[in-house]
Structure 1
């Protein structure tokens, strides 16, 4: 995820290790915080006894008599397993990383403070209902009791600090964290404008998505007015500095009704694609408060409610809508940069002094400036010429805490939609299934109402381009029980072209959704085994479309080396499966990138070329938009006297592909298997320090993996960090509405965040082998699966 990338880059130079003297000290450091899951404990914050059963993966199933006691136990249990991760996420939302990682995190802290997570959270907290607030406070009581009375995980000892008490505001701050991590436009829009400044409007237009190349809509039946074409997106004309890259994100979800299910009841699948790291972003839990709530699924460490999962009646899962939810404004400032011009009048900037405390003991005084829209962000984007402010959806009013609290208790479609209407800042397409046999899909998103398209950088000296609110929930697309018998989404285009509101142009390519729907329609009836195969499917629709195009360009009178002939033959005989054992997959993946690089590199400055590679969606759109036109001005290499054709570029790229693979894997193309270069390492934030990694066992890998960013089973990487996987399915869930106990799940890591635990990354092997474990829900199955039993008692017996 974006923020973790910043942490990983800086942490190596800030950690000062004390000498690890002797076996006993190291053993205590590693194991001192390991909980005994079978030991009954005294928790004076409780009102009644609470039972915590854990299965063979140490996933907690918590049963309490009241909601308050349930969430006290949730907080305590979560702290047992994920306390340092909780504190790290909290520090991210507070902009307090410098305190524990050092002053190299100064710019990250300032950016995070400029996003005003706290101010938004205070507004949410002020309107939070009494029952939700009571449960948030109960959660804090459980977390804080653990911090006061039990040993802390090793990261606290290594970094030399003690966590502050947990407050409800810290849980609500995580809304802002998730919203920022999933935002669109922060990188892509500025890069596309800089490209326009270097190469001109006509060429730059090829980097902007053309919706004609995105024919597959999530909600195909919504209608309205025409969406503007790509030509209108390039109206701004300003120089911008190089920006950092954003990390790819995606997700899949789908559900089938009883008419397409082997059970006669709905099946629902979800896999959200986020950063792959250790500890993983999700914590699996099952919550039961007698007569009140019975829900299981994924919890974000630091807040108490199930984000995605199922209860007795309904199941739900999420994918990112990719809303264009951030706009840039070119501001006009006065001479001393204390005022900005708006509608002919000078307005005072809000000037906010920030004190950054660092691990080195320094206190650094910095200044942040804000217009009525949001922060001035030049220092974070290295843009020096024109003052740029942003308006970001995360600062708009929403209440995701209310949504997930009510989803945990929803009984039907109406309850579900009522809950979903406040899920705005973290815009999601939420898939639905229930025990009554219904399926549905709801776009729950904050879609700005604005002039223009949202992609251009707006003039800030007029209020004409200010947001005029958000699209009402009632006008957002949804489907309920469609005749086809299924619903599905994969970050693709939300609605057809005549939908009346502009949502985005930064959608994922339609490769994953087209493959998902192809598999959904391949059989009349589908079962859990079919869904399992779909989750890990690595047949590439992108490769299926482009491989013949590349082969046609390679069919000339060329003199190929023996290695090139062998590589060509592998492409010719390929089934388009991105299997880790496949040499053809490696040839295609490298060839696609090499063709793109040969097309764009000669047109761009070195810095901008690197920035474009960091925004891979721009490259994907350029390839999709420019390749059908074999005469595109992008194709000719302007650094040579000849005029290159499309075929020339592909042949050059093919020769470079063979050279790269030979250099990496040797001269025999049979050994060029995709998995040998495409690997996943599950890295801990402190694992960049080799001594720590060796002493505590923080990182695991590298593991050979299949797939790519364009397959349903995704293992994604950045073009600026080739083939090192940084994103993928952060979980896999299959929910069976005919029998919740038949549901299946797996995460890439494990329950515990303590590296010495048997449950730290204990699900990794299953995940990599495309296996699942049971997800018991009924009281009988939970008891049957229990391997550990703990009673939390309000009085010391």
Structure 2
């Protein structure tokens, strides 16, 4: 009903505008629909991707600018010395192709033409808007800066990629040193294993454990972290000349470099850094599934996908429809990349989730005491490669740094006293590893065979790619760069002396895959789908997301009822917490002399295990499980290990709850602990929501909600904050539900983008993106999708020209 009501208000008589854009070969039509999606119709391939870049820049200019600065290591030029380590890390890990055109053509036979056209389109818009700076989005005015021009190297940057496990590898090494390999295997859930008695993975540490306790990955972490802004940044983008003019006009003298340099830095603590990476590790995931025609109401295969990333304004995802000779594809990717990473064309639909490949390793070297640029390799001293970089720093002289590289990769840390150096071998620095760009090949696939062949070019990140088509085929292909390790697992740091080398990469075709399984169902949710007898265990990861989401999806899809798109939408919004099915029954025989605790137990006994927004039991349960996790972690994790093992896998928590003696050797009264955690949940909720338990509904402002805070929120007035910050909006679910909403009270991760497709009719596709297509608060499409998303709603994603024209709100003709 909400969708139909919305349709009634869409302007069907489109308002046309003509824009002259230098760089086009022929006119391009862009139909923007009522939900802000651009449907681009071009007469040739160059103009198609030129227009994609141009329109993305129009909608997401500040997002693109920050991407450009992060990709090029020029954030300190804008924000000062607080970002110097980020820029050093970026340049240290920057991919520098020997042959740029050859690199671009790895992603598509005409990749060079496509990427260059996309960049030309971005630059055309940047050039135009810089001629009228008063029309720039507010972020540029707030920071007193302007957007810069792109190059193809910016597109193929690796800085944004969902990379791998180097932080875990370092922490596992520290934990083996502190508590031993057996204890670590008992606390972490490494799998798959051949059987219950399997003692793998091998966690033997062959390097000095004490040395691992240093801040080895500081530069790596610096370039991966999101950019944060402080009030001081309001002047950091001003040139010295501009600042002089401003102050002269007010009769104020020019500030000295020392004064500007003394602005308080915004450097996150190690605890904040750890918390961010922990959140990313836990909640950067996705769901996708596809069913055969025998399982659907239409008789045709259907497919759904909802990738989970950080919630933000604007969204990471960006919808686009690309139509030109040889191209007709719709869906979403990232606004900084050409093509569509999730969606469909005329022939089939596809989606992705993360598949755990391990393509990072930390190497430890002996350094020549007489020459710190030499390291021992196979019994001889080998000289590091060096590179000097000059980094502009706002308010200070430019900084010149020397970057060092071993044969394995960038040197991230040197211990001069111990004569040790540490380097990261990163598979994603190999050619052809720019994230998601291989989607360009997938966009033109006309069959499962062609789609699977396109997948062979998809190296980073590791993904579960699924496919369905109207001819009846469904399929799954795991993709990713998977180094072959002959003599170690890749889970702990190793000596860089030549004993531990990669033996090439596993061909993607040999990664797990299936076609038309007998069940008629394919489900991936970052869970482990690898058979225990998979012959290349050394090439993939040992740590996966818990199985709760996948098990719940499979449970619903295999209930014997033919599924519709409405069923798919309900499943993407599902709030059933499978861990509760194990934990809550353990509470049923328990009772308490404390009245509020007993009342809380009564709510849980009648609960249906769904974390609905209007449920009181949901609030009680989440508080209970949270406290149980903390209590369990305190019991099983030694104090000196806690900084390096932040969370316990849900699998281990449930194992302990059912059979405490399997995890904890000393006697413990499990029932007393469970009851104490319920009592603590009641105390926490009473403090936060008041004493009336009936008001403890889960979804409310002071409980489970989402508030989207703009990155520049601290730099603007209270009135402006109301315009750029969005929410609060009530939410349900948590980190283990199909509808992932994270572990915090404010939802910071989950699905901002969703899509459901029935291959019988592409015009029946439904989707959502939050909070809107545009990143500019002055646009009506900055926040218009948030109310619909908050109700787990969707808008129609029309594919045929006739349907699109019915919901077009504006037609733009880009003319050469």
* CA shift for structure 1 position 505: 1.5
* Change over 3 Å in CA distance of 1:208–1:324 after alignment to 2: farther
Moved more, 521-530 or 127-136: 127-136
Tell me if 1:166 matches 2:150. yes
* Change over 3 Å in CA distance of 1:197–1:279 after alignment to 2: same
Moved more, 255-264 or 445-454: 445-454
Distance, in Å, in 1 between the alignment partners of 2:600 and 2:447 is 54
Aligned runs of 1:152-551 on 2, under 5 Å? 152-173=136-157, 176-179=158-161, 182-211=162-191, 229-230=199-200, 232-233=202-203, 235=205, 238-239=209-210, 240-241=213-214, 244-245=274-275, 246=277, 247=280, 248-289=283-324, 291-335=325-369, 336-378=371-413, 387-398=421-432, 403-502=438-537, 503-551=540-588
* Alignment partner of 2:720 out of 694, 704, 707: 694
Deviations 1:549-599 (A, max 9, x none): 3556xx2xx643211111111222211101122222222222222222223
Distance, in Å, in 1 between the alignment partners of 2:485 and 2:719 is 49
Checking the alignment, whether the CA contact within 8 Å between 1:92 and 1:112 is kept in structure 2 is: yes
* CA shift for structure 1 position 232: 2.0
Checking the alignment, whether the CA contact within 8 Å between 1:696 and 1:755 is kept in structure 2 is: no
Distance, in Å, in 2 between the alignment partners of 1:646 and 1:683 is 41
* Change over 3 Å in CA distance of 1:382–1:411 after alignment to 2: farther
Q: Could you say what secondary structure the match of 2:361 adopts?
A: strand
Checking the alignment, whether the CA contact within 8 Å between 1:563 and 1:667 is kept in structure 2 is: no
Unaligned stretches of 5+ residues in structure 1 = 1-35, 215-223, 637-642
Distance, in Å, in 2 between the alignment partners of 1:121 and 1:726 is 40
Match of 1:28 in 2: none
* CA shift for structure 1 position 82: 0.8
Checking the alignment, whether the CA contact within 8 Å between 1:324 and 1:506 is kept in structure 2 is: no
Moved more, 484-493 or 123-132: 123-132
Distance, in Å, in 1 between the alignment partners of 2:90 and 2:413 is 14
Moved more, 92-101 or 468-477: 92-101
* CA shift for structure 1 position 635: 7.4
* CA shift for structure 1 position 37: 7.7
* Change over 3 Å in CA distance of 1:155–1:635 after alignment to 2: farther
Match of 1:53 in 2: 31
Moved more, 71-80 or 583-592: 583-592
Q: Could you say what secondary structure the match of 1:697 adopts?
A: helix
Deviations 1:36-65 (A, max 9, x none): 984211123222211111111121111111
Match of 2:251 in 1: none
* Change over 3 Å in CA distance of 1:549–1:661 after alignment to 2: same
Match of 2:21 in 1: 43
* Alignment partner of 2:653 out of 623, 628, 638: 623
Q: Could you say what secondary structure the match of 1:415 adopts?
A: helix
Deviations 1:664-709 (A, max 9, x none): 1122222222223222122222124353772572221222211111
Moved more, 234-243 or 327-336: 234-243
Checking the alignment, whether the CA contact within 8 Å between 2:350 and 2:466 is kept in structure 1 is: yes
* Change over 3 Å in CA distance of 1:505–1:758 after alignment to 2: same
Match of 1:599 in 2: 632
Checking the alignment, whether the CA contact within 8 Å between 1:203 and 1:633 is kept in structure 2 is: no
* CA shift for structure 1 position 204: 2.3
* CA shift for structure 1 position 632: 5.4
Distance, in Å, in 2 between the alignment partners of 1:359 and 1:225 is 58
Checking the alignment, whether the CA contact within 8 Å between 1:235 and 1:456 is kept in structure 2 is: no
Match of 1:149 in 2: 128
Moved more, 599-608 or 731-740: 599-608
Moved more, 762-771 or 107-116: 107-116
Distance, in Å, in 2 between the alignment partners of 1:50 and 1:507 is 45
Tell me if 1:663 matches 2:687. yes
Moved more, 435-444 or 655-664: 655-664
Checking the alignment, whether the CA contact within 8 Å between 2:28 and 2:43 is kept in structure 1 is: yes
Match of 1:89 in 2: 67
Checking the alignment, whether the CA contact within 8 Å between 1:374 and 1:390 is kept in structure 2 is: yes
Checking the alignment, whether the CA contact within 8 Å between 2:296 and 2:302 is kept in structure 1 is: yes
Distance, in Å, in 1 between the alignment partners of 2:693 and 2:644 is 32
Distance, in Å, in 1 between the alignment partners of 2:197 and 2:750 is 31
* Change over 3 Å in CA distance of 1:724–1:634 after alignment to 2: farther
Distance, in Å, in 2 between the alignment partners of 1:591 and 1:402 is 43
Match of 2:775 in 1: 753
Checking the alignment, whether the CA contact within 8 Å between 2:202 and 2:489 is kept in structure 1 is: no
* Change over 3 Å in CA distance of 1:226–1:662 after alignment to 2: closer
Distance, in Å, in 2 between the alignment partners of 1:383 and 1:710 is 46
* Change over 3 Å in CA distance of 1:500–1:566 after alignment to 2: same
* CA shift for structure 1 position 328: 1.9
Match of 1:570 in 2: 603
TM-score by length of 1: 0.85
* CA shift for structure 1 position 76: 1.4
Match of 1:710 in 2: 736
Deviations 1:422-453 (A, max 9, x none): 10121111110112121111111111100345
Checking the alignment, whether the CA contact within 8 Å between 1:207 and 1:621 is kept in structure 2 is: no
* Change over 3 Å in CA distance of 1:231–1:783 after alignment to 2: closer
* Change over 3 Å in CA distance of 1:132–1:710 after alignment to 2: same
Checking the alignment, whether the CA contact within 8 Å between 1:426 and 1:445 is kept in structure 2 is: yes
Match of 1:646 in 2: 670
Moved more, 472-481 or 386-395: 386-395
Deviations 1:352-387 (A, max 9, x none): 3333322334423334332221223348x9999964
Checking the alignment, whether the CA contact within 8 Å between 1:443 and 1:477 is kept in structure 2 is: yes
Moved more, 314-323 or 90-99: 90-99
Distance, in Å, in 2 between the alignment partners of 1:689 and 1:120 is 41
Unaligned stretches of 5+ residues in structure 2 = 1-13, 130-134, 216-269
Q: Could you say what secondary structure the match of 1:211 adopts?
A: coil
Tell me if 1:585 matches 2:618. yes
The number of equivalent residue pairs is 726
* Alignment partner of 2:85 out of 107, 115, 123: 107
Distance, in Å, in 2 between the alignment partners of 1:516 and 1:92 is 37
Q: Could you say what secondary structure the match of 2:341 adopts?
A: strand
Distance, in Å, in 2 between the alignment partners of 1:382 and 1:51 is 61
Distance, in Å, in 2 between the alignment partners of 1:43 and 1:226 is 65
Deviations 1:451-492 (A, max 9, x none): 345343243243232211111122111111112112110001
* CA shift for structure 1 position 777: 0.4
Checking the alignment, whether the CA contact within 8 Å between 1:95 and 1:112 is kept in structure 2 is: yes
Match of 1:124 in 2: 103
